[in-house]
Amino acid sequence: MLEVELAYMDATLKIDFPDSVKVDIFKPLSTSLAVNYETFKKSCLNSDVLSYINSNNLLIVVNDAHRNTPTALVLEWFKKLAPQQFQSSTFLVACGTHKKPTQEEYKTIFGLLYDEIKEKIYYHDCHNSDELKSIGRDSFGEEVYVNSKLFDYNKVLIINSVEPHYFAGFTGGRKSLVPGLADFKTIERNHNLANSLDCSPMKLKGNPVAEHLESIVELVDQTHIYSLQIVSDSNKQISYVSFGTLTHSFENAVSAAKEMYSSKCTSEYDLLLLEILPPLDRSIYQAQKALENCQSLVKDKGSLIICSGCPDGIGSDFFFDLAQNWDSENNCPKDGKVTFGSHKLKRVNDISKRINVFVKSSLPDEIVSNLFYKPIENISEYITALTNNKKDLQIGVVYDAAHLVLQIK
């Protein structure tokens, strides 16, 4: 009997497959030559980044702890390159709609440097109008606001990471500005576009969310903005760094991320089993990313099982409240008003009508069901039952499924 082990709840989850079943295994690539300080230094010297790092009036924009960006390591390298940098730099955490980082999260973001720079760290609050500045109107004709600190410094360095994103195409790049540093209403308008299934992983052209993001970025004067975009492998080793303008560095990193996080398949599957790695295994709100990355490779009426402990629960009380007021038959809010978070419910409900979507988690069954997933306890028993009913099952196991995207050749 074949046994597969998946990361789950700070331990491993062991899944048994009958010997008669062929199981395809999918994993993101691991870099054969990780970027170290010396190669990073060489990349810096071949770019204009040191003119920013050595500025006495620099704002450094970083991700919050919900992203795998190796911010702490990169900042240590920058400090090694320019020891005086931290005496004058200011740091801004691009939180988007997320809450203010906790003390523990700040330490995760900034690592050993946190105590040294903590008095110069700020976070973005998308609801605080006193900290926002208008940059014009978007394609909806609505006012767009971003954090005013972007315009208070001579130079701005954005540090971000690029990987597939289930409705924006890719993370990174322009997402430091929107949703990272934008006002709530602008973020809501952008995210509501994700109700369209044209918004999908690794798709940029013809993706309403991605195209709206690009149009907003064009409103920002970027002459004082420089960008570092990072691609890491599944072992969290840096595999690629890209310096340049926000657009140029992002496009180069996208090409590298496609190589790292895309797997081509020759056929669809009756069952896919998905592993989610930290920190995206913390809540069911984040678990949807794995579903979106892989669901198109499941046959109609087939099954997909997400293994995510969800120790932080739902991830958003607002998200759960929204589900309580959802018309599942018509797949829309009962009051007809599309609001922030609606896209997540609509997409899961749409997908769950085509395939069976299970979640193995620590959450109560009723909560899982209320969010349009099916709870499952014993995965091995479910697989045995499937194989008893159908002998020629096509089954796949996807490691790090919140990042790896399956595509048909």
**71/111 Cα distance (integer angstroms):** 8
What's the mean pLDDT in 39-53?
96
Q: What is the CATH number of domain 37-260?
A: 3.40.50.11440
Residue 336 is predicted with a pLDDT of 84
Query: Beta-strand (E) ranges in 138-261?
Result: 143-147, 155-161, 164-165, 169-170, 225-232, 238-244
What's the whole-model pTM score?
0.86
Q: What's the pLDDT tens digit per position in 191-216?
A: 999 988 899 999 999 999 999 999 99
DSSP 8-state assignment for residue 357: E
Quick one: pLDDT band at residue 316, thresholds 50, 70, 90? confident
**66/302 Cα distance (integer angstroms):** 31
Contacts of 118 (CB under 8 A, 6+ apart): 106, 110
DSSP 8-state assignment for residue 220: S
Q: Are 122 and 148 in contact (CB under 8 A)?
A: no
Residue 342 is predicted with a pLDDT of 86
Query: Strand 143-147 vs strand 132-137: parallel, antiparallel, or unpaired?
Result: antiparallel
Contacts of 356 (CB under 8 A, 6+ apart): 301, 302, 303, 304, 374
CA-based angle 401:25:253, to the nearest 5? Answer: 45
Residue 19 is predicted with a pLDDT of 84
Of 399, 201, 405, the C-alpha closest to 307 is 399
Residue 389 is predicted with a pLDDT of 80
Residue 343 is predicted with a pLDDT of 87
Q: What's the pLDDT tens digit per position in 331-368?
A: 999 988 888 888 888 999 999 999 999 999 999 999 99
Half-sphere exposure of 137 (CA within 13 A, CB side): 4
Q: Does domain 2-28+266-408 have CATH number 1.10.10.410?
A: no
Residue 66 is predicted with a pLDDT of 84
Chain region(s) in the chain for CATH 3.90.226.30: 2-28+266-408
Question: Residue 394 pLDDT > 90, yes or no?
Answer: yes
Residue 321 is predicted with a pLDDT of 85
Chain region(s) in the chain for CATH 3.40.50.11440: 37-260
Question: Residue 75 pLDDT > 80, yes or no?
Answer: yes
